[in-house]
Chains A and B, each alone.
Chain A
Amino acid sequence: AQSVTQLGSHVSVSEGALVLLRCNYSSSVPPYLFWYVQYPNQGLQLLLKYTTGATLVKGINGFEAEFKKSETSFHLTKPSAHMSDAAEYFCAVSEGDTGRRALTFGSGTRLQVQP
């Protein structure tokens, strides 16, 4: 069965600093990988996804992530944090168990951005 581990339930950075949110997955087949962001009292918004092809994926709001099969990782980065990036971030995987129809989410990382 697939699973997702997000290291660090809370991450705090200064405005302008590098953002690094960690995600490791387990999967018996090549996975589809996603990052979603959730602002308070809202649903989830897709930041970026990896299905096939280029392993470095660029998303919205300046975020990017790199699929590293050997490390089973899909870490999310942004070179320079902005106050508006403060939110909860979820990594998710979809693979063969569900016919690639459903997502298994990690438990989330809350990003704080200090002025």
Chain B
Amino acid sequence: ETGVTQSPTHLIKTRGQQVTLRCSSQSGHNTVSWYQQALGQGPQFIFQYYREEENGRGNFPPRFSGLQFPNYSSELNVNALELDDSALYLCASSLQPSLYNSPLHFGNGTRLTVT
């Protein structure tokens, strides 16, 4: 069983640029969630995608956007990067949207540094 894989592992961008992070879900999982983890903090929910539609969003501005593809892989796009966007971005897949019987399986993350 292949786990959640994210690419790239590390990325350096300049303020104002745009970035795309990629995630491949665990086999059989149709739901993907993205979290932002700033240094020394717990992860914060960005949004969830289910069957290629956004299915819930945290307190993040519209410059954070996402896509989910028919094979359930996913992208996180961030426009107009700010210094505070520097963080570890975690992708998590699950069997279904609700966490009742479908826990999140996390990837190892992409470390984004904005200079």
CB of B43 within 8 A of CB of A51, answer no
CB of B45 within 8 A of CB of A104, answer yes
Interface range for A: 20 to 34
A16 to B53, CA, bound (A): 48
CB of B98 within 8 A of CB of A92, answer no
CB contact between B4 and one of A43, A98, A100, A105 (< 8 Å): that residue:
A43
What number of residue pairs across chains A and B have CB atoms under 8 A from each other? 71
CB of A98 within 8 A of CB of B106, answer no
Chain B 36-86 interface residues, beta-carbon cutoff 8 Å to A: 40-45, 48, 55-56, 58
Interface of B (DSSP majority class): loop
Q: How many residues of B contact A (CB 8 A)?
A: 27
* 0/1 string, A23-38, CB within 8 A of B gives 1: 0000000001010100
A4 to B41, CA, bound (A): 12
Interface centre among B4, B99, B108, by most A CB within 10 Å? B99
CB of A102 within 8 A of CB of B42, answer no
CB of A101 within 8 A of CB of B42, answer no
A72 within 8 A of B: no
Residue of B nearest to A49 (CB): B103
CB of B41 within 8 A of CB of A108, answer yes
Q: How far is the CB of B73 from chain A (nearest CB, A)?
A: 17
A67 within 8 A of B: no
Residue of B nearest to A6 (CB): B42
**Residues of chain A whose beta carbon lies under 8 Å from any beta carbon of chain B:** 4, 32, 34, 36, 41-46, 49, 51, 90, 92, 94, 98-108
Query: Apart from A100-B100, A105-B43, A107-B42, what are 15 other A-B pairs with CB-CB below 8 Å?
Result: A32-B100, A34-B99, A43-B106, A43-B108, A45-B106, A51-B99, A92-B42, A98-B58, A99-B98, A101-B56, A102-B33, A102-B58, A103-B104, A106-B42, A108-B41
